[in-house]
Structure 1
Amino acid sequence: MAAYKPSDYELLRRRCAELKEQGWKQSKIAQALGLTQGWVSRTLKKYRQEGQASLTWRKPSGPDCRLTNEQIVQLLAELNKGAEHHGFSGAV
């Protein structure tokens, strides 16, 4: 499988759907685009279930922050005191 940037995958998903609608087989789509047949299969399955919305690129959201706003302020204050204040020798 070729190395692509995360944002490139939207174009690949759109092209997969396009080629499938033109009657291409999944294995041929994978071969033509330098992808695995499994990736193409999952992409087309999601496209059948969710439609065009499944083809757009979305930045991964990641987990929600577990710290409260008060804890974030406290953490920043401690970090700003520096490493030596917390017992480390020299700046880290």
Structure 2
Amino acid sequence: MPTYKPADYELLRRRCAELKELDWQQNKIAQALGLTEGWVSRTLKKYRQEGQAGIAWRKPDGPACRLTKEQLSQLLAELTKGAPAHGFAGAIWTRPRVNEPG
């Protein structure tokens, strides 16, 4: 089975949908594209449910924010005051400066 880069998978999903529209069987699509039947099945299910939008590439979600909305608002307010207002030389905010307990 060939190995594909993540960027290739949207093209493969689109090709799966095109071949299914041409009445190809799932196992034949899998063989032709070098994919598993399970992958083809999941792809076609998303295509049936959501259309082209369901098979489009999406940037993977990052981790969930660990701050509450109130904490984010407070952080923004403090950052807006500027680094010198918090005792730092220069106006540049760096990750260590933001993480420093205050």
TM-score, L = length of structure 2: 0.65
Distance 1:77 1:48, change over 3 A: same
1:84 equivalent in structure 2: none
Number of matched pairs: 78
Deviation at 1:9, TM superposition (A): 0.6
- Give the match's secondary structure for 1:49: helix
Distance 1:54 1:78, change over 3 A: closer
Q: Which runs of 5+ in 2 are unaligned?
A: 76-92
> For 1:35-85, what per-residue CA distance to the aligned partner results, in whole angstroms no more than 9, with x for missing partners?
000000000011001111012101101222315564xx7961398xxxxxx
One-letter amino acid matched to 1:45: K
Instruction: Give matches, 1:2-17, under 5 Å.
Output: 2-17=2-17
1:66 equivalent in structure 2: 66
Distance 1:66 1:74 in 2: 19
User: Which structure would you say has the larger Rg?
Assistant: 2
Distance 2:94 2:14 in 1: 46
Distance 2:59 2:95 in 1: 27
Distance 1:74 1:65, change over 3 A: farther
1:48 is the counterpart of 2:48: yes
1:77 equivalent in structure 2: 97
Distance 1:22 1:78, change over 3 A: closer
Query: Which moved further from structure 2: 57-66 or 42-51?
Result: 57-66
Q: CA RMSD in A?
A: 2.5
TM-score, L = length of structure 1: 0.72
1:19 equivalent in structure 2: 19
One-letter amino acid matched to 2:48: R
